[in-house]
C-alpha cells in the first residue's frame, strides 16, 4: 500500500460514454499527477497539480479533463474517447513540485475503450 | 535535460546480487538520481534516490560515481519478486518545477 488509491481498477467504456477516474492520497502531499501508460510504451505525464492549481498539461486532448478539488483528491473526467486511449492510467502524489521529492503511485485504472 | 540510458534487459539468478547500471552523463550538479520499479501492470514503486554519496535503504543500495555521470542500483539478494522493470530518472526542471521523464527502463528477470 502506497497511500494512493485509485478507483475503479478496471473500466470498459464505449466511445460515446462519459466516465470519471478517481484518485485519493492519504499522505498529506500537495502535488498530484496523472500519467498514461499505453501498451509497451513508457509512462507519459499528462497533468500536474500543485496546491490544487494545474501547473502542467502535456498537450493532452480535451476529451481528458482533470479536476483537483483539494490536495487529497484528483479526478480525470473522460468523454468521447478513442480506442487508442485504452491504457493504464496512473495517479501519483508527492510533497510538492518545487523540489525533487519521491512520487508515490496508485495501482492504476486499466481503461479499455470499445 | 539530464537524459538517462539503461540496458533494455538483464537476468539475475535468485539469491545473487542484481546490479543495474544507468548512465546520466549530462546530469547537473544539483540534480538527483531516482530509481523506481514497476512490477507488471502495477504502479511504479519508489526505491531510492541520491545526489552524490552512496545510499542504502531496506530495499537497495545506490552507488553514484564520483563524476556523477553514472550510477548503479544494487539489489543485494534478488528474489523472484524483484522481477520488474527498473527506471532510473533524473527529474527535469522547467520553470522551477520538477517532473519525471520515464524511459523504457531495464527489464530485470530473476531466475530460479
Nearest Cα residue in chain B from A95: B98
Q: Which residues contact A110 (CB under 8 A, 6 or more apart)?
A: A9, A10, A11, A88, B41
Q: How far is A63 from chain B (nearest CA, A)?
A: 23
Dist CA B76 CA B18 (whole Å)? 6
C-alpha dist (Å) from residue A13 to A83, A94, B55, B56: 10, 30, 45, 44
- Kindly state the percentage of chain B with pLDDT values over 70: 96
Position B3 scores a pLDDT of: 86
Cβ neighbours of B100 in A, within 8 Å = 43, 45, 103
Cβ separation B43–A106 shorter than 8 A? yes
Longest Cα separation, chain A? 40
Q: Cβ distance A76 to A21 under 8 Å?
A: yes
A88-98, pLDDT tens digit by residue? 999 999 987 76
B24-61, pLDDT tens digit by residue? 999 988 889 999 999 988 999 999 999 998 999 999 99
Side-chain half-sphere of B44: how many Cα atoms within 13 Å?
A: 34
Q: Provide the strand spans (E) within chain B.
A: 9-13, 18-23, 33-38, 45-50, 55-56, 61-64, 70-75, 84-89, 92-94, 97-99, 106-111
Q: Which residues contact B54 (CB under 8 A, 6 or more apart)?
A: B61, B62, B63, B64
Dist CA A78 CA A63 (whole Å)? 6
State how beta strands B106-111 and B9-13 pair. Answer: parallel
What are the residues of chain B with a beta carbon less than 8 Å away from any beta carbon of chain A? 31-32, 34, 41-46, 49, 91, 96-105
Between B34, B99, B103, which is nearest A102 by CB? B34
A1-57, pLDDT tens digit by residue? 789 999 999 999 999 889 999 999 999 999 999 999 999 889 999 999 988 898 888
At CA B105, angle to CA B102 and CA B111, rounded to 5?
150
Cβ separation B102–A42 shorter than 8 A? yes
Return the SS3 of B35: strand
Amino acid at each position: 500500500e502506497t497511500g494512493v488509491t485509485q478507483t475503479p481498477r478496471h473500466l470498459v467504456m464505449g466511445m460515446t460514454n462519459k466516465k470519471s477516474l478517481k484518485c485519493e492520497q492519504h499522505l498529506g502531499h500537495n502535488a498530484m499527477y496523472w500519467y498514461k501508460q499505453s501498451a509497451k510504451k513508457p509512462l507519459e505525464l499528462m497533468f500536474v497539480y500543485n496546491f490544487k492549481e494545474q501547473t502542467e498539461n502535456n498537450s493532452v486532448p480535451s476529451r481528458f479533463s482533470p479536476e483537483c478539488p483539494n490536495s487529497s483528491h484528483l479526478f480525470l473526467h473522460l468523454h468521447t474517447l478513442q480506442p487508442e486511449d485504452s491504457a493504464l492510467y496512473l495517479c501519483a502524489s508527492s510533497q510538492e513540485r518545487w523540489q525533487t521529492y519521491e512520487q508515490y503511485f496508485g495501482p492504476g485504472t486499466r481503461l479499455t475503450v470499445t | 535535460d539530464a537524459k538517462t540510458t539503461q540496458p533494455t534487459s538483464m537476468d539475475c539468478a535468485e539469491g545473487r546480487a542484481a546490479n543495474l547500471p544507468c548512465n546520466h552523463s549530462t546530469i547537473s550538479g544539483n540534480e538527483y538520481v531516482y530509481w523506481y520499479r514497476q512490477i507488471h501492470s502495477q504502479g511504479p514503486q519508489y526505491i531510492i534516490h541520491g545526489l552524490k554519496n552512496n545510499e542504502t535503504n531496506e530495499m537497495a543500495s545506490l552507488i553514484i560515481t564520483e563524476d556523477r555521470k553514472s550510477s548503479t542500483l544494487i539489489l543485494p539478494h534478488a528474489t523472484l519478486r524483484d522481477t520488474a522493470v527498473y527506471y532510473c530518472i533524473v527529474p527535469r526542471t522547467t520553470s522551477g518545477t520538477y517532473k519525471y521523464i520515464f524511459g523504457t527502463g531495464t527489464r530485470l528477470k530473476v531466475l530460479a
